[in-house]
Amino acid sequence: MTAPDRTVAGPGTKAGLDPKAGPGPASGPDPIAGTSPITGAIPVADPDSTTPGLDSDLLASPPVSPRRAAWRRFLKYRLALPGLIVLTLVVLGAVLGPLLWQVDPNAVDPAQYRNPPSPDHPLGTDSAGRDVLARLIVGGRVSLAVGLAAAVTATFVGILLGALAGYARGWVDSFLSRVCEVMQSFPTIIVIITFAAFFGPSLVTMIIIIGLMEWTGGFRVTRGLTMSLREQDSVVAVVGLGARNSRVLFRHIVPAVLGPATVIATGMISGVIMTEATLSFLGLGVPPPSSSWGTMLNQAQSLRILESMPWMWLPPGIAIAITVLSVNFIGEGLRNAVDPRQGQR
Amino acid sequence: MTSTSETTPVLSVRDLTCEFSTAGGTVRAVNGVSFDLAPGETLGVVGESGSGKSITMLAILGLLAANGRITGGSVTLDGVELVGASEKRLQSVRGREISMIFQDPMTALNPVMTIAAQIDESLKRHSRGLDRRGRQSRIIELLDQVRIPNAVRRARQYPHEFSGGMRQRAMIAMAMANRPRILLADEPTTALDVTVQAQILDLLHDVQVETGTALVMITHDLGVIAEVADRALVMYAGRVVETGTAAELFAEPRHPYTRGLLASRPTLDDTDGGDLDAIPGQPPNPARLPSGCSFRPRCDLAQGRTECAEAPELAVLGEGRAAACHFHTELALSERPA
Amino acid sequence: MNEPLLQVSDLVKHYPVKRSTPWEKKRWVHAVNGVSFEVGRGETLALVGESGCGKSTVGKTLMRFHEPTSGQISFDGQDLAALSRSELRKMRRDLQFVFQDPYASLPPRNTVGAIITEPLEIHRVGTAESRRARAEELLDLVGLRPELINRYPHEFSGGQRQRVGIARALALEPNMLILDEPVSALDVSVQAQVVNLLSRLQRELGLSYLFIAHDLAVVKHIAHRVAVMYLGRIVEIGTTEELFANPRHPYTQALLSAVPVSDPTLRGQGERIRLIGDLPDPVSLPSGCSFRTRCPIATDECAVELPLLTSVPEVPAATAAACIHATQPEVAR
């Protein structure tokens, strides 16, 4: 059952980067590498006892990258794909909508005061006679931008600080963890209101404030994962190869954390859209005349409108609900996608 | 405990087949497995990962995972069919007629219950005749039987207060609580150190002698088979490829896989320092078995022979002796390689 | 084998026990308690013992995955314990580590090619193309088809992954590998392949191995010399042949007698030494000889003094055992 070992670059010398040695065996027939045909039927046993390389089914099947496997797991949650499609449509609508519906969202027309839907204004007009559909489209841009930008900022800060705390441990970790606890014990919305009142309401302020207030979730997840990852063999192995901390951190730990952090981020998007709506509802969101779904709801807050003019509050309300729901569905799918235990084999 | 008759098997498995539905399609993890277990005997089941050895045992107890089911064959306990029996019936069998011991006692024991409470649960369920005091004394008796020192004090402790070996002893005490006829032990010593393994194997043997229970020892370690088994099954890719007494299997293996396993393992009795006679290749993935004889791609006897394109039947070679190889006669003629 | 490649003297590694309150007394786990050994060029020294004996900690401390508490480690003439971070990184080219669990030790998101070229990338060896060619060469060297270079670890079986781990460890052409239970997580029919591969690589590349294992049969097959550890100390060390033939320390004797027989016909033959009780708590070691609490031949003297590793001058081949009652090999043999 024994077969001769294949010689590599002559006895005694190292099979190395020696250019003269050339790749592969120096002499003798090589029964495995390259020569034996990979056919469907395997009539001959592997002749080289030290070579298990003839794993025909491994070569026959195309490589499944972890990314593809993750995509499959994502699809396993049935609502994930519909969520993704709907969210894409919402984003496309907000981005491309103004090209298709070329009505000025800020054009005030007192003659069109609170008109119900009509062919000219499919979703009616608001208290200033502005077209609700146009405002809905433009407002979507603000809401989605705030949601995405703030969530990305918050997650980015969270991952950065979390990876730092988890990797450095010691006093760095103690300090950042205490800061995180303090942040968490603050009622976020009140802090945001204070800041918004102080710096004046604007899109950028809102994104930065929310981003800087909401990093704790990403931080906690990243810190915990980093702590356990740095003890794992696959990471210790890289340290053993002589890698610098930066390589270990950014090539091996951060990529492993990105998946779970994305889940946190999606969970945050819906929260941020709601926060934006709340702020705008309180008049601390984007300043007039620009609209957001939140400001539209804000401007609809009177009993008469709520009772008898649903075209002014129903569209932004539905838009928020649809967006938040589809983001949550995507988040649920992502949760599956980043958990390799789901749907293995 | 004396058994009724030495010839009637207590457990009889015939053509047992189990399939699992997975994302990649149906996987046949156990394929036509048959064996008999005589009262009081020790049957070893050897196999590697994916050989179906553990799944066979879980199937006997009706404990397959949700995506798995028995698709054929029969399992009879004292002549009574267990395949297709109601869950209630199976529950009355598990822990009373047939008990199981697992590889990792830490996951099999409940971490928030004392050892005594866990044994008590099983006693309450199956030994209804015992009152509270009777159960208490039985628990201490059991812990003494598995040689746990200070049984009275230890009974009140939690699993985490036990060492690995002590935990496995507690597991055995639990399994023996209702004096089962059959003990299924799935790699009970794999997680243990060699000195502790020796203790546990001794203990299982002693318990068996004292109670007359039959033992099925599932293992990947031929040493464990050599140490404890009366008879053994060798499993590969969901099938039984060879059976016989332990002595027969070691002295004259009649399947190339058995022979390969024996030849490839280093032992303390080896004298030469040459290369080991390794079996080439990897154990097959049960989801993608080779056609024909599953061992064919790794077999030095197959070598392109056309017979191997067909899966060999388990050929009976004698009393309790069988091998599933087209060329088992060749193996009988050739000497076992050193 | 003139100058040993690796010389370890009096290596100590203690871990702090996590305190539940800050005012609790600081206590230490005594994982490694003064271990000394040498590994020659091209030699395999096996470190054997049961779980908790500190054998893995020795390996990981040598790699400086953990900082040693005290002791000297001299590798190829350099004092490892005194190296700065950047010197340490350079040293890692010559001393590599293979992990026990081939499922956990390869980064799951990288292809096999990326895994094997990573050490070359870290040490800026060659260009992207030459590194890739080298990876294919290494795959071939460890008995895997070079075509598999774009595959991911999860597509491989355990034995194949372990080969990838070995290929990665060999990428920088080290002098020595520390092998931490390299075959114990593998299927039985695959263990022999990897053992053979390691023997072949040693022959072809002149590698030194520190082979950490609990499987005595594998150790007997692959090692030139063996050191038996118990509770963080070496209790016996010697050539494989001598140690297996004439174990002198009662723990070595117990360990060997506990190994299952290789054949059912040998059942019941040979004396079984059954150890009683459990491993003592490594936080508070027994006084004197650590093994005395479970030793079948312990006497009162054993509690008094820590026995040192002593060899038998009359029998040069004999092992050195740390036991005051160590069985003396017959002088005229």
Q: Nearest CA of chain C to the CA of B164: how many Å?
A: 9
- Whether residues A1 and B299 touch (CB distance < 8 A) is answered with no
- Which among A148-152, B195-199, C180-184, C309-313 has the top mean pLDDT? C180-184
Q: Is the pLDDT reported for residue C270 higher than 70?
A: yes
Taking CB atoms and an 8 Å limit, are B195 and C258 in contact across chains?
yes
Of C193, C265, C279, the CB nearest to B278: C193
> Which one, of A344, A338, C156, A73, lies nearest residue B67 by Cα?
A344
Q: How far apart are CA C59 and CA C76, in angstroms?
A: 16
Q: How confident is the model at residue C202 (pLDDT cuts 50, 70, 90)?
A: very high
Q: Which chains touch C (3 or more CB pairs under 8 A)?
A: A, B
Q: Please state, in angstroms and rounded to a whole number, the distance separating the CA atoms of residues A152 and A145.
A: 10
C-beta separation of B91 from B165 below 8 A: no
Q: Nearest CA of chain B to the CA of A25: how many Å?
A: 20
- Residue A99: which H helix or E strand, with range? helix A80-100
All residues at 6 or more sequence positions from A307 whose CB lies less than 8 Å from its CB, including other chains: none
Q: How far apart are the first and last CA of chain C?
A: 26
Q: CATH: 2.60.120.1440, 1.10.3720.10, 3.30.420.10, 3.30.565.10. Which one for A66-343? A: 1.10.3720.10
Query: With an 8 Å Cβ cutoff, are B268 and C216 in contact?
Result: yes
Class of domain C4-94+174-260+270-321: alpha beta
Confidence of residue A55 (pLDDT cuts 50, 70, 90): very low
Does B218 map to a domain?
Answer: no
Fill in the DSSP letter of residue C177.
Answer: E
B296:A45 CB<8 A: yes
CB of B289 within 8 Å of a chain A CB? The answer is no
Strand B11-22: give its sheet, edge to edge: B25-37, B11-22, B68-77, B80-81
B235: DSSP letter: E
pLDDT at C191: 92
Residue C84 carries which DSSP code?
A: -
pLDDT (0 to 100) of residue A214: 84
Q: What is the 3-state secondary structure (H, E, C) of C236-274?
A: EEEEHHHHHHCCCCHHHHHHHHHCCCCCHHHCCCCCCCC
Query: Residue C64's pLDDT is what?
Result: 87
Report CB contact under 8 Å: C137, A8.
Answer: yes
Residue A30 has pLDDT above 90, yes or no: no
Does some domain include residue B173? yes
Largest Cα–Cα distance in chain B?
Answer: 68
Instruction: Indicate yes or no: CB of B280 within 8 angstroms of CB of A48.
Output: yes
H or E stretch covering B80: strand B80-81
Q: For residues A226 and A231, what is the distance between their CA atoms, to the nearest angstrom?
A: 9
Structural domains in chain B (count)? 1
Contact C260 B227 (CB under 8 A): yes
**Tens of pLDDT, residues C13-27:** 998 887 777 777 888
Q: Considering only residues 112 to 141 of chain B, which have any Cβ-Cβ distance to chain C shorter than 8 Å?
A: none
pLDDT at residue A104 is higher than 80: no
C62 Cβ neighbours under 8 A, 6+ residues apart: C6, C8, C11, C73, C75, C80, C95, C178, C210
pLDDT of A341: 52
Q: Does B30 touch chain C (CB under 8 A)?
A: no
- Residue A53, min C-alpha distance to chain B (Å): 7
Long-range contacts of B146-149 (CB under 8 A, 24+ apart): B146/B170, B146/B172, B146/B173, B146/B176, B146/B203, B146/B207, B147/B203, B148/B173
Residue with the bigger pLDDT between C304 and A133: it is C304
The size of the A-C interface in CB pairs under 8 A is: 140
Q: Report the range of poorest mean pLDDT among A118-132, B25-39, B199-213.
A: A118-132
Contacts of A50 in chain B (CB under 8 A): 278, 280
pLDDT at B214 over 80: yes
**Residue B16 is assigned to a structural domain of this protein:** no
Decide if B278 touches C, using CB distance below 8 A.
yes
Partners of C93 on chain A (C-beta within 8 Å) are: 242
Read off the pLDDT band of A264 (50, 70, 90): confident
To probe the interface with C, which of A32, A50, A59 has the most C CB atoms within 10 Å? A50
pLDDT of the residue at A178: 92
Q: What are the extents of the domains in chain A? A: 66-343
Q: B111: buried, middle or exposed (CB in 10 Å: 19+, 13-18, 0-12)?
A: exposed
CA closest to A342 among chain B residues: B23
Q: Looking at residue A41, what is its pLDDT?
A: 29
For the cut 80, the answer to whether the pLDDT of residue A192 exceeds it is: no
Shortest Cα distance, chain C CAs vs residue A314, angstroms: 45
Q: Which residue of A has its CA nearest to B264?
A: A1
Residue B164: give the domain boundaries.
Answer: 107-179
Q: What is the pLDDT of residues A159-185, one digit of tens each?
A: 999 999 999 888 899 999 999 998 888
What residue type is C52 in one-letter code?
Answer: G
Q: Structure pTM?
A: 0.82
pLDDT at A175: 93
Q: Which residue of chain B comes nearest to A2, CA vs CA?
A: B277
Phi, psi of A39 (to 5 degrees): -115, 175
Residue A55 with chain C: CB contacts under 8 Å = 157, 160
Structure tokens at B260: 């390969």
Q: Where are the domains of chain C?
A: 4-94+174-260+270-321, 111-172
Q: Using an 8 Å Cβ cutoff, are C224 and B273 in contact?
A: no
Measured between alpha carbons, how far is A92 from B97 in angstroms, rounded to an integer?
66
Residues on chain A touching C190 (C-beta within 8 angstroms):
52
Which among C44, C177, C127, C206 has a CA at the least distance from the CA of A14?
C206
Q: Provide ipTM, 2 decimals.
A: 0.87
pLDDT band at C47 (very low <50, low <70, confident <90, very high): very high
Task: Identify from B296, B306, B335 which residue to disrupt to test chain A contact, counting A C-beta atoms within 10 A and taking the largest count.
Answer: B296
Q: Which of B189, B234, B241, B227 is nearest to B47 (CA)?
A: B234
B 206-225 residues with CB < 8 A to C? 220-225
**Residue with more model confidence, C179 or B6:** C179
CB contact under 8 A, B222 and C188: yes
Q: Is residue B172 part of a domain?
A: yes
With cut-offs at 50, 70 and 90, classify the pLDDT of residue B36.
very high
pLDDT tens digit string along C276-316? 777 888 888 888 899 999 888 888 888 988 898 888 877 77
Q: How many CB pairs under 8 A join B and C?
A: 133
pLDDT averaged over chain C? 89
Q: Which of C191, C211, C255 is CA-nearest to residue C49?
A: C255
Q: What is the per-residue pLDDT for B322?
A: 93
Nearest CB to A54; choose among B281, B285, B304: B281
Could you count the other beta carbons within 10 Å of the beta carbon of residue B8?
A: 13
pLDDT bucket at A61, cuts 50 / 70 / 90: low
B25 contacts chain A (CB < 8 A): no
Name the C residues in 79-118 with CB < 8 Å from any A CB: 88-90, 92-93, 96-97, 99, 101, 104-109, 111, 118
